[in-house]
Structure 1
Amino acid sequence: MMNWAILGPGSIAHHFAAALKEEGESLLAVGARNKMKGQAFAEKFDIPRVYEGFQGVLDDAEVDVVYIATPHAYHYETIMEALHHGKHVFAEKAITVNAKQLEEITDLAAEKQLIVAEAMTIYHMPIYKELQQLVDAGKIGAIQTLSVNFNSIKENDPENRFFNPELAGGALLDIGVYALSFVRLFIKDEPNEIISTVTKHETGVDQQAGIILKNRQGQLAAITLSFMVESPERATVMGTKGFIDIERFSRAEKATVCYIEEGNTEIMESGETAKALQYEVRAMKELIEKDVPHVTLPYTKDVMNIMDQLRKQWEISFSFE
């Protein structure tokens, strides 16, 4: 059995630790900058080893894989250190801040024969495997257009991770990565045309954006992101013979498929929203233990390239890049 460790015991790490326990995994250690916070986390999840900071975890020879749940700005440095210490890495989205960082990480992982992956729920929800099979079978015809909305109001605090540029804040890296990952899952290849507009927060990061993507096959995707409004998290995939409508697409368990020619509707259900992080754990285990193809990594790279281009259009960069 592999031994897991968690770096950064924040809110999402609590959910991931619970998922590890549900899957019967060995959660051996936690590393936290605040030792008291780390100890409280360890007591809650019965974790035997607590380290102040991350170095102790990385030096622990019994730790096989680390889950990184720190703000985006710290991912690159932490992932590189973990790989240098021989650890497999599962990092929260967005896995890095830019494509150059991701390339360096994946190159090092390949050199050391280690697995590095992004904790992107969309790639591992069972419903999407079934929907891809439906699309591949031509049930809704050729995909032409996608529409994705992800809007989530955030407290207007310039110091929090959502708006602080020193923490790589902004809607794009926080929720936009979900929308782009969804699009990339269903289109044939990476977009080669990108049109966008943005509303910036007073700190300079993006807080609202409209994005249109087009690839060489002519497939179009329209995305709206916002930290300023709240709306249902919805995605629609439109083909020449029908469409798929998905609510709460980031952790979907149900989809409505409408067939235009037949004039009927089908409800598809698979998996459970509540088990989203457990599906991630299973996928990471398979990558490490069964040596299965890392099919989501090219999507992760494409999404990072798109986000780089968007931030360039918006003239948004971070001081540490």
Structure 2
Amino acid sequence: MLKWAILGPGSIAHHFAAALKDEGETLLAVGARNKSKGQAFAEDFDIPRVYEGFQGVLEDPEVDVVYIATPHAFHYDTIMEALNHGKHVLAEKAITVNGKQLEDITALAAEKQLIVAEAMTIYHMPIYKELHQLIDAGKIGEIQTLSVNFNSIKENDPSNRFFNPDLAGGALLDIGVYALSFVRLFIKDEPAEVISTVTKHETGVDQQAGIILKTKQGQLATITLSFMVESPERATVMGTKGFIDVEKFSRAEKASVCYLEQGKTETIEAGETEKALQYEVRAMKELIENDVPHVTLPYTKDVMNIMDKLRKQWEISFSFE
């Protein structure tokens, strides 16, 4: 059995630890910059080894795979260090801050023959397998257009991770990565054209944006992101014969499909929202233990490339890049 460790015992780490337990996985260690927090986390989940900082976890010879739950500004150094210590890595989104960091990581992982993956729930929810089968069968025709809205009001505090440039803040790297991952899952190629507009926070990071993506085949996607308003988390995939509506698309368990020719609508259900992180665990185990194709990594690379292009258009960069 794989032995897991968690780096950074924050809120998402609590959910992931619970998912590991539900899957019957061995959670061997936790690393925390604040050891008291690490000890409390270990008590909650019966974790036998607690390390102050991350180095002890990475040097632990019994740890096979680490889950990184720190803010994305710190992912690159931690992932590279983990790979150099022979650990497989599952890192929270966004997996890195830019495409160059991801290139370095994937090159090192290939050299070390290790698996590195982004913990992107969208890629693993069972509903999307069902929807792709429906699309492949031609039920909604050729996909032409996608529309995605992801908006979430954040407290206007320049020091928090959402708006702090030293922590790679901004809506794009926080919620935009979900919207772009959804789009990439349904279009044929990485977009050839990227057009956008942005509203910046006083700190200089993006807090609201409108994005248009177009593939070389002519598929078009429109995305709105905002930290200034709240709205339903919704995505629509539109084909020549129908369309698919997905509410709460980041962890969806059902979708509404409208068939234009028949004039009818049906609801497709698959998977459970509450098991989103369990599906991530299963996918990571498959990659490590069964050597299956790493189909999500090319999507992750494409999304990172799109975000690089957007930040270049917006003239947003971080001092540590």
Quickly name the TM-score band, shorter chain normalised.
over 0.9
The corresponding residue for 1:231 is: 231
Partner SS for 2:185: helix
Partner SS for 1:271: coil
Deviations 1:5-48 (A, max 9, x none): 00001110010000000000000000000001100100011100
CA-CA distance at 1:294 after TM superposition: 0.1
CA-CA distance at 1:164 after TM superposition: 0.7
Provide the C-alpha distance between the structure 2 equivalents of 1:165 and 1:114, rounded to a whole number of angstroms: 31
The answer on 1:115 being equivalent to 2:115 is: yes
* Aligned residue type for 1:242: G
Structure 1 residues 196-207: aligned runs within 5 Å = 196-207=196-207
Partner SS for 1:236: strand
CA-CA distance at 1:240 after TM superposition: 0.1
The answer on 1:286 being equivalent to 2:259 is: no
Provide the C-alpha distance between the structure 2 equivalents of 1:10 and 1:228, rounded to a whole number of angstroms: 24
The corresponding residue for 2:177 is: 177
The corresponding residue for 2:313 is: 313
Partner SS for 2:183: helix
Provide the C-alpha distance between the structure 2 equivalents of 1:210 and 1:27, rounded to a whole number of angstroms: 41
The corresponding residue for 1:34 is: 34
Partner SS for 1:155: coil
Structure 1 residues 158-177: aligned runs within 5 Å = 158-177=158-177
CA-CA distance at 1:148 after TM superposition: 0.1
The corresponding residue for 2:275 is: 275
The corresponding residue for 2:83 is: 83
Deviations 1:63-92 (A, max 9, x none): 000000101110000000000000000000
CA-CA distance at 1:219 after TM superposition: 0.2
The corresponding residue for 1:264 is: 264
The corresponding residue for 1:245 is: 245
Partner SS for 1:132: helix
* Aligned residue type for 1:164: N
Partner SS for 2:14: helix
* Aligned residue type for 2:169: G
The corresponding residue for 1:300 is: 300
Provide the C-alpha distance between the structure 1 equivalents of 2:109 and 2:169, rounded to a whole number of angstroms: 26
Partner SS for 1:47: coil
The corresponding residue for 2:101 is: 101
Deviations 1:146-186 (A, max 9, x none): 00000011111111111111111100000000000000000
* Aligned residue type for 1:75: H
* Aligned residue type for 2:266: E
* Aligned residue type for 2:287: L
- What CA RMSD, in Å, does the superposition of the two structures yield over aligned residues? 0.4
Partner SS for 2:19: helix
* Aligned residue type for 1:85: H
CA-CA distance at 1:316 after TM superposition: 0.2
The corresponding residue for 2:142 is: 142
* Aligned residue type for 1:309: K
* Aligned residue type for 1:28: L
The corresponding residue for 2:73 is: 73
CA-CA distance at 1:260 after TM superposition: 0.2
Structure 1 residues 188-227: aligned runs within 5 Å = 188-227=188-227
Q: Mark the runs of 5 or more structure 2 residues left unpaired by the alignment.
A: none
CA-CA distance at 1:212 after TM superposition: 0.3
Provide the C-alpha distance between the structure 2 equivalents of 1:152 and 1:45, rounded to a whole number of angstroms: 30
The corresponding residue for 1:45 is: 45
* Aligned residue type for 1:24: G
Provide the C-alpha distance between the structure 2 equivalents of 1:86 and 1:78, rounded to a whole number of angstroms: 13
CA-CA distance at 1:313 after TM superposition: 0.2
Where has structure 1 moved over 3 Å in runs of 4 or more? Answer: none
CA-CA distance at 1:307 after TM superposition: 0.1
The corresponding residue for 1:125 is: 125
* Aligned residue type for 2:213: L
The alignment-based identity, stated in percent, is 88
Q: Mark the runs of 5 or more structure 1 residues left unpaired by the alignment.
A: none
Provide the C-alpha distance between the structure 2 equivalents of 1:156 and 1:17, rounded to a whole number of angstroms: 30
The answer on 1:54 being equivalent to 2:61 is: no
State the TM-score, normalizing by the size of structure 1.
Answer: 1.00
Provide the C-alpha distance between the structure 2 equivalents of 1:131 and 1:16, rounded to a whole number of angstroms: 26
Provide the C-alpha distance between the structure 1 equivalents of 2:68 and 2:171, rounded to a whole number of angstroms: 20
Provide the C-alpha distance between the structure 1 equivalents of 2:153 and 2:45, rounded to a whole number of angstroms: 30
Provide the C-alpha distance between the structure 2 equivalents of 1:32 and 1:53, rounded to a whole number of angstroms: 5
Provide the C-alpha distance between the structure 2 equivalents of 1:160 and 1:142, rounded to a whole number of angstroms: 43
Provide the C-alpha distance between the structure 1 equivalents of 2:170 and 2:40, rounded to a whole number of angstroms: 30
Provide the C-alpha distance between the structure 1 equivalents of 2:283 and 2:89, rounded to a whole number of angstroms: 13
